[in-house]
Amino acid sequence: MPITAQIDLPDLATRFIGQLAHCQRLGLTVHHIETNKVELKLPYSTDLVGYPDTGVVHGGVITTLIDTACGCAVVCAIFEQFQSLEISPTLDLRVDYMRPAEPHKPIYGLAECYKLTSNIAFVRALAYQDDVEQPIAHAVATFMRISAEMVGDEFRQALLGQVDTQASAKDGQQS
């Protein structure tokens, strides 16, 4: 059922990230949004170091950044194309690490949902610091689309950023 409310994609993406406890702990923020593309920013933290001798962040953090950026791109792409709120679980993810991330600098995760079918979303992503042409990592992922009903009222309202009566009534009709 289409959602008729006027929603800005950056707001939707920000609220989506805000709902994920682990992403809050990492300090992820939405940096840039355009059609089918989402860019997230990960600030540097010594808590995330994987190589104590050099201060380089752990590969797992890059994977999490990329997975989140991809998932967020899928949510936004589905919303743009179908005016529907779905959360899609990751089916598979492959990350190539090209170079270590430089310590004390933020890392950007840029994901593009380049194909959306009725069941599957295909996404590619990059992680980089200063120059998108010199990426830290490159990734491809697929996500499974699940029905909008699976999202749950509470989460849907959190994504819509509406708890007012009008939105509740609309949500009530949907489920």
Partner 1 sequence: MTTAVSVKQLIKQAKSDNDFSGLLQHVPYAKFIGMQVESFGDELVFKLPANPNNIGNPVLPAIHGGVIAGFMEMSAIVQLMVLMQTDSVPKIVDFAIDYLRAGYHKDSFVECKITRQGRRVANVNINCWQTSDIY
Helix (H, G, I), strand (E, B) or coil at 32: strand
| 35 or 51: CB nearest partner 1 | 51
- Least distance from partner 1 to the Cβ atom of residue 3, Å: 17
Q: Which is nearer to partner 1, 6 or 99 (CB)?
A: 99
> Using CB under 8 A as the criterion, which residues of the chain lie in contact with partner 1 when the complex forms?
19-23, 25, 46-53, 55, 57-61, 63-68, 71, 87, 89-97, 100, 150-152, 154-155
> Is the CB of 10 or the CB of 50 nearer to partner 1?
50
* Shortest distance (Å) from residue 25 CB to partner 1: 5
Residue 55 or residue 161: which is nearer to partner 1 going by CB?
A: 55
Which pairs with CB-CB distance under 8 Å and at least 24 residues apart come from 83-86?
83/2, 83/3, 83/4, 84/1, 84/2, 84/3, 84/148, 85/3, 85/148, 85/151, 85/156, 85/159, 85/160, 86/145, 86/146, 86/147, 86/148, 86/150, 86/151
In angstroms, give the least distance from the CB of 27 to partner 1: 12
Nearer to partner 1, 22 or 173 (CB): 22
Q: Which residue has the tokens 């990734």?
A: 139
The DSSP letter of residue 25 is H
| CA 72 to the chain's CA centroid | 3
Q: How far is the CB of 24 from partner 1 (least distance, A)?
A: 9
**How far, in Å, CA of 12 to CA of 74, rounded?**
12
C-alpha–C-alpha distance, residues 144 and 135, integer Å: 27
